[in-house]
């Protein structure tokens, strides 16, 4: 009889312990989940990286370097660079080129191919305009439709090495600006707005178009 009484007493003593233990486990689990959510929202490494990288991606599209120029690489700086200037490339002499550096000044993009006689005829006037407006506007050649060796030979024979010449053999910039044939000029104002697209025989009229934009 005494054994049964003692067993019942022990059972009564143990009953409250199990719910209390479960409550402690549940409380710990809730606390852990809450802290995880908080760290993810305010500074979880994975989520912070995604958020930090979303502004350049949304702003620069294929621009892998538009946030690395004069804008300092922050989201606000990228937002100030017009879409037309959000591109990167490489010059024919192997130097990295960031289109963001063109923002703030009128810009001429000259799309040419090394085997094109019309392009060669445009060379002298284009080089003249680049020199005349050197401090007020940008002139950039964009070579395509051939191999780098031919492009370099063209630069030397056409005497257009005084301003940047980009190697666009893959045609990325040609597609970006919707260019379908060589010897085409794209003239942009300082905000990146396109004010002219077309062919100017021997570059005639290019100086006037740039002059209107620089004031």
54 within a domain of the structure (yes/no): no
Domain count, the chain: 2
- Is residue 55's pLDDT more than 80? no
**Do 205 and 187 contact (CB within 8 A), yes or no?**
no
User: What tens digit of pLDDT does each residue of 60-70 get?
Assistant: 333 333 333 33
User: What tens digit of pLDDT does each residue of 8-33 get?
Assistant: 444 444 444 334 433 333 333 333 33
* Residue 113 main-chain phi, psi, to 5 deg: -125, 145
**Do 200 and 184 contact (CB within 8 A), yes or no?**
no
Query: What are the strands of the beta sheet with 194-198, ordered from one edge?
Result: 165-167, 138-143, 107-112, 184-188, 194-198
Mean pLDDT of 87-111: 97
- On whether both 125 and 191 belong to a single domain, the answer is yes
- On whether both 22 and 90 belong to a single domain, the answer is no
Higher pLDDT, 100 or 15: 100
- On whether both 114 and 164 belong to a single domain, the answer is yes
| Separation of alpha carbons 73 and 50, rounded Å | 15
- Is residue 99's pLDDT more than 60? yes
Q: What pLDDT, on a 0 to 100 scale, did the predictor assign at position 79?
A: 56
- On whether both 11 and 108 belong to a single domain, the answer is no
* Residue 90 main-chain phi, psi, to 5 deg: -140, 135
Kindly write down the DSSP assignment for every residue of 2-63, as one continuous string. HHHHHHHHHHHHHTTHHHHHHHHHHHHHHHHHHHHHHHHHHH-HHHHHHHHHHHHHHHHTT-
Asked whether the CA dihedral 78, 82, 83, 87 is positive or negative, the reply is negative
Which domain range does residue 20 map to? 2-43
Collect all residues with Cβ–Cβ distance below 8 Å to 178 and sequence separation of at least 6: 197
15 within a domain of the structure (yes/no): yes
- Is residue 169's pLDDT more than 80? yes
């Amino acid at each position: 009889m005494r054994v049964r009484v003692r067993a019942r007493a022990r059972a009564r003593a143990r009953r409250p312990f199990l719910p209390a233990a479960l409550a402690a486990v549940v409380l710990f689990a809730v606390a852990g989940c809450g802290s995880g959510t908080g760290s993810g929202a305010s500074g979880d490494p994975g989520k912070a990286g995604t958020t930090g990288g979303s502004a350049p991606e949304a702003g620069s599209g294929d621009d892998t370097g538009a946030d690395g120029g004069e804008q300092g690489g922050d989201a606000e700086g990228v937002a100030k660079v017009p879409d037309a200037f959000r591109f990167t490339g490489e010059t024919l002499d192997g130097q990295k080129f960031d289109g963001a550096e063109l923002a703030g000044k009128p810009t001429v993009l000259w799309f040419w191919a090394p085997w094109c006689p019309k392009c060669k005829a445009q060379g002298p006037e284009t080089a003249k305009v680049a020199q005349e407006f050197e401090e007020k506007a940008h002139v950039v050649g964009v070579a395509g439709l051939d191999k780098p060796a031919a492009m370099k030979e063209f630069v030397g024979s056409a005497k257009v090495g005084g301003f940047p010449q980009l190697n666009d053999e893959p045609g990325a910039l040609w597609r970006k600006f919707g260019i379908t044939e060589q010897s085409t000029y794209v003239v942009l104002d300082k905000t990146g707005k396109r004010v002219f697209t077309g062919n100017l025989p021997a570059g005639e009229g290019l100086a006037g178009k740039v002059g209107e934009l620089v004031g």
